[in-house]
Amino acid sequence: MDAINAKKLNATRSNRNYWVISAVDLKAWMDSRGVKPKPDTSSDAFSDTSSNTITQLTVENRVLEVQLKASADTIIDLRETNADLKIQRESWKAQAQQLLKHMDSKNVEDKLPPLILTSAHKPQKDSPPEPRKRIFGIF
């Protein structure tokens, strides 16, 4: 509208209150502004671009299919490992329960007494207790 109001672009009003601009006037005005028209997107140009895009997407699709297959194989391997670990756990659990039953069946007298932790150096009863060290003669 600014170009039409400034008379830089020739335009006339139609009966329906639309601006009518001739193609020649529009091209001259665009050239004066330095605006370049968008490239033609004819069917040849579009098909070349779309075929490149389709090729790229096909390659990416194949890469993703390989990654998906590798992930599925990894999941299967992990499930098998998990099943094996559960079997081993049950085996160890059964063995531990058998050992516990065996230990409970022994007499209480056969069990070792609990360990009592004591200091490594005990003063002898015959020797007198060590005198206290005094700090500043008070304690």
Q: Is residue 137 part of a domain?
A: no
Are 23 and 39 in contact by the 8 Å Cβ rule? The answer is no
- Whole domain around residue 10: which residue ranges? 1-37
**Concatenated DSSP letters of 18-86:** -EE--HHHHHHHHHHHTPPPPPP--HHHHHHHHHHHHHHHHHHHHHHHHHHHHHHHHHHHHHHHHHHHH
Q: What is the pLDDT of residues 3-56, one digit of tens each?
A: 888 877 788 888 888 888 888 888 888 888 776 666 666 555 556 667 888 888
Question: 93 CB contacts (<8 Å, ≥6 apart)?
Answer: none
Regarding pTM above 0.75, the answer is no
* CA–CA distance, 78 with 69 (Å, rounded to integer): 14
Q: What is the pLDDT of residues 88-120, one digit of tens each?
A: 999 999 998 888 887 777 654 455 656 666 655
Q: Is residue 49 part of a domain?
A: no
Domains in the chain, number: 1
Q: Is residue 129 part of a domain?
A: no
- Tokens of residue 93, six digits: 């659990």
Q: Is residue 71 part of a domain?
A: no
Q: Is residue 24 part of a domain?
A: yes
Q: Is residue 1 part of a domain?
A: yes
* CA–CA distance, 116 with 61 (Å, rounded to integer): 70
Q: Is residue 50 part of a domain?
A: no
Q: Is residue 81 part of a domain?
A: no
